[in-house]
Structure 1
Amino acid sequence: MLDQLTRTITPDLITQAQTYFEYREMVKQLVLENKTTGPNQSEAYLEYTRMAAQRMHRWDKTAKVSPEMEELILGIPPQIWLVITEAWCGDAAQTIPYMNKLAEVNPKIQLRLVLRDENPELMEQYLTNGARSIPKLIALSPGLKKEYFTWGPKPQFLLDRQRAYKLDPQGLSSKEFTEGTHLWYARDKNQSLEKELMDLIKEAFIL
């Protein structure tokens, strides 16, 4: 894995990757221009992007880090959090703002974002059940020699819910299912994401 890592995650990739602020500004500009990232510029994806921008704006204002998580984050060593994403991705809009809140707690965390469709080789290394699902968070040592942990593309509850829906939709349309997903995010308030990241961090650093 380390050999593959050094081939696809290079210092140049990290340098060229966007900060969270740059990513947010890019998405805002895309909305103004009625565009999105990636090859699919359909009206549906443009609407997904508009919704994603609204959700990120809301979470930027309301996402909270618990005192327990704040204490944990302050105790970890320097690292790079590389996130694979796209502007239209609903799950990314719901989770990346919270990752940014964690990075704001500890300046030793360097949060950087890259686009999935511009980095196919990287995405191929981080498939979820064979799918190019995003967002994908990859926590790396500053020298890019070690991968501490990965997370994504969504909290386990939603992965299980999605699997069950594919087996038996139970009369729910795709639109209704998606609306249920975003309602869950709104009610969960990043608590599941926080718990999952907390467990991964504790395991990675034996804290």
Structure 2
Amino acid sequence: MTFEAYLNYFEDVLTNPSNYPTYSDPEYLNYAKLNWSRMNRWLKKFEVSEEARAFFSASTQKQTWILITEPWCGDAAHSVPQIHTLIKDNPNIVLDIQLRDSEPFLIENYLTNGGKSIPKLIIRNELGEDMAIWGPRPAALQQIFDEMKAEGKEFEDIKTYFQTWYNSDKGVELQQELVALLSVVEKN
């Protein structure tokens, strides 16, 4: 689905949660509500670096960026709007949002350490071949997550740390990683 269709889906989840079994669970619905406000904040305040702006606007290779996500995902609340903003003005890059928990279950082919972690970005060339894969979060934060998990930190503590990290990073790591990843891929 397009980014706009994803926003419409997300809004419908919040407006009619009883139509979506996952969001009948108040915990998931609360995550989605929080993520909606976080995502909208990034859509208004996210600043693309000059390097990333120049890089993504100059990309002439036709690509499809498949972004696997769900409204309940905290990491996605930050990364999805940032990724959309990075590429939205380049007509050579099409963003296709897929839901993790709905068919065709594309996530099954892109597991992280055996898990269905999202968001997951798959960048394909015009032949439909995978050129690059990113996610579920910036590498620096993934390393912190792995350490916190190994230490047995509580999920609430991890979520709080992540929110602080995302707010202070402001999408800098994500931009740098995607520019570096595609710089290598586009040379080949």
- What TM-score comes out, normalization by structure 2 length? 0.92
Question: How far apart in 2 are the matches of 1:157 and 1:51?
Answer: 24
Q: Which residue pairs with 2:65 in the alignment?
A: 81
Q: Which residue pairs with 1:156 in the alignment?
A: 139
The 5 Å alignment of 1:3-152 reads 18-34=1-17, 39=22, 41-76=24-59, 77-119=61-103, 121-144=105-128, 146-152=129-135
Q: Which residue pairs with 1:204 in the alignment?
A: 185
Counterparts in 2 of 1:38 and 1:112: CA distance versus 1, 3 Å: farther
Q: 1:176: Cα distance to partner?
A: 2.1
Question: How far apart in 1 are the matches of 2:106 and 2:96?
Answer: 14
Q: Is 2:159 the counterpart of 1:178?
A: yes
The one-letter amino acid paired with 2:147 is A
> For 1:55-97, what per-residue CA distance to the aligned partner results, in whole angstroms no more than 9, with x for missing partners?
1110000111111111111222111101111111111111010
Counterparts in 2 of 1:129 and 1:187: CA distance versus 1, 3 Å: same
Question: How far apart in 2 are the matches of 1:40 and 1:157?
Answer: 31
Query: Is the CA contact 1:70–1:105 (under 8 Å) kept in the aligned structure 2?
Result: no
Of 159-168 and 50-59, more deviation after overlay is shown by 159-168
The one-letter amino acid paired with 1:177 is I
Q: 1:46: Cα distance to partner?
A: 0.5
Question: What is the aligned residue count?
Answer: 187
Q: 1:143: Cα distance to partner?
A: 3.0
Query: Is the CA contact 2:13–2:23 (under 8 Å) kept in the aligned structure 1?
Result: no
Question: How far apart in 2 are the matches of 1:167 and 1:36?
Answer: 37
Counterparts in 2 of 1:36 and 1:113: CA distance versus 1, 3 Å: farther
Unaligned runs of 5+ in 1: 1-17
